[in-house]
Structure 1
Amino acid sequence: MRSWRVRRMLARALFLAAAAASLAAASPPVQATAETSGPQGRAPRASSQAPAGESAGESLLAQVVVIGVPGLTWSDVKASPELTALVGKSNAGSITVKTAGPHTCPIDGWLTLGAGTRAWGSVPDEPCGDLPALVDGKIQNWQTYVDRQAEHHTGAPIGRLGQAGHPICGFGPGAAIALARTDGTVANWRPTFEAAALGNCSDAIVDGGAMPIREGRAEARRKVAELVTQATAAGAWVVLAGISQEVEWAHQQPLVALQLPPDGEPRWLTSDSTRRPGLIQLTDLTATILRGRDAANVDPAGEETAGPLDGTAITVTGDAHTDPAAVIEDRLDTNERFEQPRPMLVAVSLTILAAELLALGWFLISRSRRSRSTFGFTLLTQGGFFVAVFLSTATVWWRWPSPGLSLYFVVLAISALFAVLAKLLLGRYAYVGIALAAYLILLVDGVLGTPLQFGSMFTDGPVIGGRFYGFGNSTFATLAVATLVVAGWAAQRLIDRSRVQAALAVLAIGGAAIVVDGRPGWGTDFGGIIALTPAVLLMAWLTWRGGISLRALIGIGAAGVLAVSAVAYLDYLRPEDQRSHFGTFVARLLDGDVNDVLIRKLEMAVQFFAGPAGWAMLAGVMLAMLATVLPDRVPSASYRAFFGSRPMVRPALLALSTCGLVGMLLNDAGVALPAIMTGFALPLLVAHLVASPTPATVSPESHLVQEH
């Protein structure tokens, strides 16, 4: 009777763990903006700009004029006294102009602005061409751009702004593209800017002209400043923004975003789509123009024309800024923050790899105690690297001299420091300390809104326009390994006392990671909980029962699907401007607009196999997974003995393989996700084996006793 009750209690616990993420989704997400100067999801309005007959604070907003300038950088602002003067009376920030294609030419930027979602306009591997002309009231070759969206499965509804049910005026060639209707025709358009014509427009888009690469750039900057001054004098709420990153393959850096006049003191631009002070994205401009309009997705005839917007309306946050020069230097420093991590990631990784190979060679030749210890230290340093990539952002290295070199040495130093501390404190079980550090740091970072992710080596910067908040694929891979290793260690400490307690420990440790990884506003990682939930449930079941049947395996899979579905649906129930990736996916699914999303993700997953590196990763990942399923076939006596030395080794390794396999099959990162997991887990495992010449057979109670 008692055995039946225990089994029922464990079954309930497994079900509750599967539902943990959905319970977390019931509360609202953390908002990045401490305060906004307008209603939630709407652009702030300047009280001085309230139309006649309205008092400040009412919901009707002032006229918005977006002045788009392809290629306008913060270096341009620094070089222009006129633009520098504008910074002092503007809400300021940078804008990411990532579109659907590999490069953002002016045509990509203007099409994306008109669609409100990332569009594809340029031809890959070709320089940016001229904008198409307006001939007889229609964009020339418009059907080419419509077909290009279908060809690349962007799902971008180009023509959205042109179909809006209120008069938006356009000035200049780029504005014609942004305001073209779905058939390519354009209305309310003038070839050049006329401030007097703004009186007949609800809102307006102005093409400020692409910034020349060399000659004429200073004159272009003066023209832009003059346009902003004219539009502001006409009583508009003006947003000056870079529209495209590439003009004849120009150098990439975050582009300019200014909004004036501010409502009160100048502060930092942000939006709910980025949740980062000082950063907006291109599609936020579309959402700002369509702010609070009932006709955002409906044409004048009342027919639906498009799905959800990718962006949200611009708001402001943070402390007031009073020094234009300080704002400009902050933005230029931010450029270093996002430009350096990727090249330094390669440099640090190659340095650690070289150290490992040299230490391995020494060990194989000498077999001395010192060479063994050195080799183990280099392996632990690689494990510490997966902690250092996040902690390095806390040092604010981009403000140091020689930011690239500073980042290089900071990451190496933190990696080595964790290896030293773990070795000194835990001996041959140092791997547990590194995994525990990664687990706790990422959980705390997730709850705080992921401040350590932004600008780290594992996160795309605003030029790439990847993930602005939450956990990306590399971060999830780190968290997954840390979670399963820590859960396996904790269960090993308890399993001799009670398999029930050990399984509950796995559920508690894994459940906390699932909640933080999946909760909207924290990790907000849709693909992550799809992979981690079944891995945690599998480990808990194997811990409890020691084996698993096909029926139980199907039940675990169903529980994982239930948890993910519950999170996504509860997020979908939020207001549209508060949804994360989960709710947006459900909205597209219900609208029948999900095919393009799935195809794009599949294309991203398979692109790794375009070269030998992807196939090499796949081979390595499959060998690692096979080693967990067929340990007797591994040509290492030390590994085979280790696999059977403790009850929790097999469940932990199988859970790691399950997480990696599911992530590879269902995540847009494809084979890269389990490859990153292997890059973290394998050095920790080998370091433990190297530190243990004979497999450990001690009891779990002495698991942390250092052996020499």
Structure 2
Amino acid sequence: MRFTGVRRALFVIAAALLCTTGTAFAQPSTLMAKVVVIGVSGLTWGDVKSSPGLTALVNQSNVGSMSVKTAGPRTCPVDGWLTISAGSRAWGTGTEQECADLPAVTGGKVEGWQTYVDRQAQHHTGAPIGRLGASRDGICGFGPGAALAVAKPDGSVADWSPAFDAAKLASPACQDAIVDGGVLPPREGRTEALLKVADLVAKARAAGGWVLLTGVSQEKLLSHQQTLVALQLPPDNGARWLTSDSTRRPGLIQLTDITATVLRGQAASVDPAGEEKAGPLGGSEIHATGDVHTNAAAVIDDRLDANQRYEQPRPVLKAVAATLAAALALSLGWFLIRRNSLWARRTAIFALLTQAGFFVAVFLSTATVWWRWPSPGLALYGVTIGISAASAALSLLLLKRYAYLGLSLAVYVVLVIDAVLGTPMQLGSMFADGPVIGGRFYGFGNSTFAALAVAALVLAGWAAQQLLDRSRALAALAVLAVGGIAIVVDGKPGWGTDFGGILGLTPAVLLMAWMTWRGRVSWRALLGVAVGGVLAVSAVAYLDYLRPPAQRSHFGNFAARVIEGDVGDVLVRKLQAALAVFHSPAGWILLVALVLCMLATVLPERVPFASYRTFYLSRPMIRPTLVALTVCGLAGSLLNDVGIIVAGIMGGFAVPMLVAHLMGVPRPATVSPESHLVQES
């Protein structure tokens, strides 16, 4: 079958691109013989700025920001220390609990340890708490938090002291160390606590080794407020920026990187039950990258600015969404009241296109460096609204009734360029969960995938329509070319690195190409498309799995869990996350809206709008394009952990463009179903 050959070609291209992908940064430099981790709960860059002792350490250190997201809704001290213990995100505090004191050690064992073990199973975290302590001997612990970090899988602790002991730290028996630097009080006494932290760092440095001072927790429910401090000293070759292969961002590491650094990337061989291999580490070794910095004040200001970049997007997203929704509601209301008014129609069309223009603005806004402006939140709001409106106006001016093509092309080009450059526009965009929430640190997230999918499928449909009169085969190849680029960009490790995205986009592109080529769909074709998509994705995941563990992306880590039989908790967590949207009425409203959109695609004759029915039959490529969008939205919703939100975002981009096009195009002569069939034959 000719289409099978095309599918195999895409498979080979994807495999070849994957094999040429390397890590985003150079490999970690060799660590000193001893690694000393000093964890302080709640240590912020504002604390560094207010503490002369900590400020003085900046030019002597590799520096970065620490993302402290754990598995639960809170990152209490117990959650942070258990995450270091497991090397992957752990759940320490009960769902309804406030942050409690750290457990005591009685009889050489952490009190209540089994409760923490049971909590991992209850919430399907898959976190093997006790992994660090089980890895090898010679890891010393000092303080109550360190007891959790160095405890063995049964909760027992060895080489542990209730308080810091400089002499013990300096002894040869202490090969590495975890030190609890305490919990910073919110207000009164914080200055004195920071003095003790600076003194603790000085004592740890005197013992020799590679000292990492880092924040380990914040206590706010469902809001980690900001990234915390990470200072590593002495620097290997001049003070630079900390990073890891798990974040691929200069100046940014995450909590699980600590475990990988202490273990030098080597995981423990057993889980808490002592029966199976533990899953892959959630982090990678910490190392330094970038230029040398020599100005402590500038470094601190840069980190405070970075916090704005991480914190503002989600709150501002709500304000932008409310503004666009209000403008759209008012303009459509005016149009419904004054249907014969040309200005009312034009205003409604512009509001609809501005809504779609948001999907351009959400990425281009990062190019304005808004987080360095005097009022970052207000700047992001203004920039996003401005770019959304400007994109709509420019598309209308240049393309008039084909304005949707301009918006789709803009999103497509911007995201292709962003992926090739290593996705710099994602960090700090409204579509990235970001380090504060502990979401994706690099590549494309679900929201970005949804925008790219709509742009790619709309452009592919338009390109195929231009070639359809010449050759159906050429038109199908155009679909494969436009869609194939989007698949590679979205899925290639080091670029989009989006496992769930290519699972949703690949079958949609293949099905659209088949419908373009053959003009109809059979069950055999559907089965072939599904199997081809699964095989292509599986091959990419397996090739990524063959790379060293530290270099793997989400693809390879998922394949490792499948091969090692450790994928159950991951799938359960993703299913729970996908179903969480139905905990509120908004989720059910979204589901009803999406079902209606899908029915409009497969049963156009039932839609009570003559303009839509006429439009559906006006061009042969409209049906394949709408079907492909429906398939992609359905597959993306079923295969991603945000569920129907994927389809909702796709609808938020595609539907306004469609409605604006229907309102702006003069109604053509009536096209009968019979003439449509003749046109497609």
- TM-based fold match above 0.5: yes
CA shift, 1:651, in A, is: 0.1
Structure 2 SS opposite 1:69: strand
Does structure 1 residue 181 correspond to structure 2 residue 173?
Answer: no
Partners of 2:10 and 2:361 lie apart in 1 by: 30
Does structure 1 residue 279 correspond to structure 2 residue 252?
Answer: yes
Comparing 663-672 and 387-396, the one that deviates more: 663-672
1:438 maps to which residue?
Answer: 411
Higher RCO (C-alpha under 8 Å, 6+ residues apart) = 1
Aligned pair in 2 of structure 1 residues 251, 15: CA closer, same or farther (>3 Å)? Answer: closer
Is contact 1:14–1:540 with CA below 8 Å preserved after alignment?
no
CA shift, 1:264, in A, is: 2.1
**Amino acid of the structure 2 residue aligned with 1:421:** L
Structure 2 SS opposite 1:208: strand
Does structure 1 residue 193 correspond to structure 2 residue 164?
Answer: yes
CA shift, 1:297, in A, is: 3.1
1:138 maps to which residue?
Answer: 109
1:704 maps to which residue?
Answer: none
CA shift, 1:548, in A, is: 1.1
Partners of 1:155 and 1:567 lie apart in 2 by: 24
2:35 maps to which residue?
Answer: 64
Partners of 1:291 and 1:11 lie apart in 2 by: 45
Pick from 88, 92, 102 the counterpart of residue 73 of structure 2.
102
1:149 maps to which residue?
Answer: 120
CA shift, 1:369, in A, is: 1.4
Q: Deviations over 1:436-471 (max 9, x none)?
A: 110111011111110000010010121111000000
**Amino acid of the structure 2 residue aligned with 1:267:** R
**Amino acid of the structure 2 residue aligned with 1:401:** P
Partners of 1:376 and 1:211 lie apart in 2 by: 54
Structure 2 SS opposite 1:463: helix
Count matched residues: 668
Structure 2 SS opposite 1:28: coil
Partners of 1:297 and 1:43 lie apart in 2 by: 25
Is contact 2:73–2:221 with CA below 8 Å preserved after alignment?
no
2:203 maps to which residue?
Answer: 230
Is contact 1:44–1:314 with CA below 8 Å preserved after alignment?
no
1:359 maps to which residue?
Answer: 331
2:24 maps to which residue?
Answer: 32
CA shift, 1:337, in A, is: 0.9
Does structure 1 residue 23 correspond to structure 2 residue 51?
Answer: no
**Amino acid of the structure 1 residue aligned with 2:332:** L
2:675 maps to which residue?
Answer: none
State the TM-score, normalizing by the size of structure 2.
0.96
1:677 maps to which residue?
Answer: 650
Pick from 26, 32, 48 the counterpart of residue 77 of structure 1.
48
**Amino acid of the structure 1 residue aligned with 2:461:** G
Partners of 1:695 and 1:84 lie apart in 2 by: 70
Q: Deviations over 1:391-415 (max 9, x none)?
A: 0001000101111111011001111
Partners of 1:316 and 1:549 lie apart in 2 by: 55
Structure 1 SS opposite 2:179: strand
**Amino acid of the structure 1 residue aligned with 2:400:** G
2:343 maps to which residue?
Answer: 370
Where in structure 2 are the equivalents of 1:207-606 lying within 5 Å? 207-246=180-219, 252-291=225-264, 293=266, 296-297=268-269, 306-366=278-338, 367-606=340-579
Is contact 1:381–1:416 with CA below 8 Å preserved after alignment?
yes
CA shift, 1:62, in A, is: 2.3
Structure 1 SS opposite 2:63: strand
**Amino acid of the structure 2 residue aligned with 1:487:** A
Partners of 1:63 and 1:439 lie apart in 2 by: 48
CA shift, 1:14, in A, is: 3.7
Partners of 1:323 and 1:152 lie apart in 2 by: 45
Is contact 1:460–1:467 with CA below 8 Å preserved after alignment?
yes
Is contact 2:463–2:479 with CA below 8 Å preserved after alignment?
yes
Q: Deviations over 1:317-346 (max 9, x none)?
A: 111111111111111111111111111111
Aligned pair in 2 of structure 1 residues 186, 19: CA closer, same or farther (>3 Å)? Answer: same
Partners of 1:501 and 1:581 lie apart in 2 by: 35
Ranges in structure 2 where 5+ consecutive residues have no aligned partner? 672-681
Aligned pair in 2 of structure 1 residues 247, 615: CA closer, same or farther (>3 Å)? Answer: closer
Where in structure 2 are the equivalents of 1:646-665 lying within 5 Å? 646-665=619-638
Q: Deviations over 1:590-648 (max 9, x none)?
A: 11110000000000000000010110111111111111000001111000000000000
CA shift, 1:353, in A, is: 1.2
Comparing 9-18 and 577-586, the one that deviates more: 9-18
**Amino acid of the structure 2 residue aligned with 1:310:** G
Is contact 2:130–2:153 with CA below 8 Å preserved after alignment?
yes
Aligned pair in 2 of structure 1 residues 679, 140: CA closer, same or farther (>3 Å)? Answer: same
Is contact 1:43–1:313 with CA below 8 Å preserved after alignment?
no
Aligned pair in 2 of structure 1 residues 605, 315: CA closer, same or farther (>3 Å)? Answer: same
Is contact 1:20–1:514 with CA below 8 Å preserved after alignment?
no
Partners of 1:442 and 1:249 lie apart in 2 by: 30
1:48 maps to which residue?
Answer: none
Is contact 2:356–2:657 with CA below 8 Å preserved after alignment?
yes
Is contact 1:165–1:299 with CA below 8 Å preserved after alignment?
no
Does structure 1 residue 171 correspond to structure 2 residue 142?
Answer: yes
Aligned pair in 2 of structure 1 residues 163, 11: CA closer, same or farther (>3 Å)? Answer: closer
Partners of 1:236 and 1:228 lie apart in 2 by: 12
CA shift, 1:508, in A, is: 0.5
Structure 2 SS opposite 1:462: helix
Identical residues among aligned pairs (%): 66
CA shift, 1:126, in A, is: 2.3
CA shift, 1:192, in A, is: 1.1
1:3 maps to which residue?
Answer: none
State the TM-score, normalizing by the size of structure 1.
0.92
Partners of 1:222 and 1:67 lie apart in 2 by: 14
CA shift, 1:164, in A, is: 1.6
Partners of 1:527 and 1:165 lie apart in 2 by: 36
Is contact 1:14–1:507 with CA below 8 Å preserved after alignment?
no
**Amino acid of the structure 2 residue aligned with 1:257:** A
**Amino acid of the structure 2 residue aligned with 1:22:** A
Is contact 1:428–1:691 with CA below 8 Å preserved after alignment?
yes
CA shift, 1:24, in A, is: 2.3
Partners of 1:633 and 1:182 lie apart in 2 by: 61
CA shift, 1:15, in A, is: 3.6
CA shift, 1:304, in A, is: 6.0
**Amino acid of the structure 1 residue aligned with 2:5:** R
Structure 2 SS opposite 1:209: strand
Q: Deviations over 1:16-48 (max 9, x none)?
A: 23554333222223x332x4xxxx2x4544xxx
CA shift, 1:161, in A, is: 1.0
CA shift, 1:227, in A, is: 0.8
1:92 maps to which residue?
Answer: 63
**Amino acid of the structure 2 residue aligned with 1:306:** A
Q: Deviations over 1:286-306 (max 9, x none)?
A: 00000055x743699x98652
Q: Deviations over 1:196-251 (max 9, x none)?
A: 11222110000000111121111110111111111112112000000112179997
Aligned pair in 2 of structure 1 residues 249, 209: CA closer, same or farther (>3 Å)? Answer: farther
Partners of 1:312 and 1:17 lie apart in 2 by: 32
Partners of 1:393 and 1:675 lie apart in 2 by: 23
Is contact 1:246–1:252 with CA below 8 Å preserved after alignment?
no
2:641 maps to which residue?
Answer: 668
